[in-house]
Amino acid sequence: MDYELKKFSGNRVDNIDFLNLDFGRTFSDHMIQIHYKGGKWSDAQIKPFENLSFSPSMLSLHYGQTVFEGVKAFFTESSGINVFRIKDHLNRLNRSAARMCIPEISPQGLLAMISDCLSLDKSWVPKERGSSLYIRPFIFATDAGIGLRPSSEYMFIMFTCPVDSYYKKSRPLRLLCFGDEYIRCAKGGTGEAKTAGNYAASLLPTKIAEEKGFDQVLWLDGKSSRYIDEIGTMNIFFVRGDTLITPVLSGSVLDGITRRSVITLAKDLGWKVEEKPLAIEEIQKDIRSGEIHECFGSGTAVGISSVGSIQYGEHELKIENHNQESLAQKVRESLLDIQHGAVEDLYGWNFLIP
Ligand SMILES: Cc1ncc(COP(=O)(O)O)c(C=O)c1O
């Protein structure tokens, strides 16, 4: 894609304390902006990060016609910067866009621009293992004028933020499962798309969970409220015996890119992996009996996060195994080794910015 380049001329990066980053609050120097008008994506720019100006009647503000992604770029000692599974993220952006009546954007055209933009902001990629440059591409409806309809104009933006860990607490996560009191999405709804409304719907239950001392909500399917879907911003895994189990992608679960990576790496480590419907009551029973001896969540923002307990109904069931031998720890380290270029990238997951 042809684009215009306007370079940032100051020096902000030297004043950043990379060891004390507040997730998502620090922005690097450049962003990408592309317009959709007259049936095509055009007027592409890489330019300094700046505020935008819109009509108060802009459609996405009212009807939520918007999709987004979360991607990470990692510092490597030897070979530049690795952007992790960017093509998979851009493909998912387009799948989300299709569900939300938003026109697709060519991943190929975008990749070259993303590469140039990240190359300009290379010094913003934190060097510590586990830290990264979080990349937020998104598309939103920009037609001015209220009235429910798909917009005819859109904007694609990509900005980046240096980040360290998402959760500052070092203890394993405590999850609260509301049963059918709150659901994240309905069958036939938008659960599989990465779109704002899913997250807006989760805000109140998550706030209630946090006020009770929990970290995240564990969502059940919206039809029977029997089967586990996912955690607020993560997919979920349980270790039962010698098998890693995770809910099947039912249409209401986000097809997590980290989830895919975990499945591959766990198989490489010699574990069996099963994707299937997981009834909450069965999982409870297996936690109680000790058959399930580990649980963790996976996501781009959070990485691999151990889960220490799940409250469903009366009881908070504890899952104890969180030591160096845990599968979560092994998968976390394998993933970071690949992302930081410490081992060979056997699956071609890294997109290298030289
Ligand atoms: C609802 C939800 N599920 C799962 C995930 C994990 O997806 P990924 O591994 O692609 O980041 C996320 C994170 O974006 C999420 O928001």
pLDDT tens digits, one per residue of 188-243 = 999 999 999 999 999 999 999 999 999 999 999 999 999 999 999 999 999 999 99
What confidence tens digit (pLDDT) does each residue in 241-254 have?
Answer: 999 999 999 999 99
| 71 CA distance to ligand 1 middle (Å) | 10
pLDDT for the residue numbered 171: 87
Question: For residues 283 and 85, what is the distance between their CA atoms, to the nearest angstrom?
Answer: 31
Q: What is the percent of the chain where pLDDT is above 70?
A: 98
Q: Give me ligand 1 centre to Cα 83, in Å.
A: 17
Residue 315 — pLDDT band, cuts 50, 70, 90?
Answer: confident
Among the four given CATH numbers 3.20.10.10, 3.40.50.920, 3.30.540.10, 3.50.30.10, the one describing domain 173-339: 3.20.10.10
Average per-residue pLDDT for the chain: 95
Instruction: Quote the pLDDT of residue 96.
Output: 98
Write the pLDDT tens digit of every residue in 91-123.
999 999 999 999 999 999 999 999 999 999 999
Check if 92 has its Cβ closer than 6 Å to any atom of ligand 1: no
Q: Residue 78: is its pLDDT beyond 90? A: no
CATH number of 3-164: 3.30.470.10
For the chain, residues classed under CATH 3.20.10.10 are 173-339
Residue closest to 100 by CA, chosen among 76, 138, 67, 130? 67
CA-proximal residue: ligand 1, atom 6 (nearest): 299
| Residue to substitute in 183, 233, 236, 246 for testing ligand 1 pocket (most ligand atoms within 8 angstroms of CB) | 233
Band (pLDDT 50/70/90 cuts) for residue 155 is: very high
Note the pLDDT tens digit of each residue in 278-290. 999 999 999 999 9
Query: Among residues 331, 323, 325, 339, which one has the least CA distance to residue 304?
Result: 331
Give the model's pLDDT for residue 112: 95
Q: Span 283-299, mean pLDDT?
A: 95
Which residues of the chain does CATH 3.30.470.10 include?
3-164
Residue 305, beta-bridge partner list: 297
- Per-residue model confidence (pLDDT) at position 325: 81
**259 CA from centroid of ligand 1 (Å):** 8
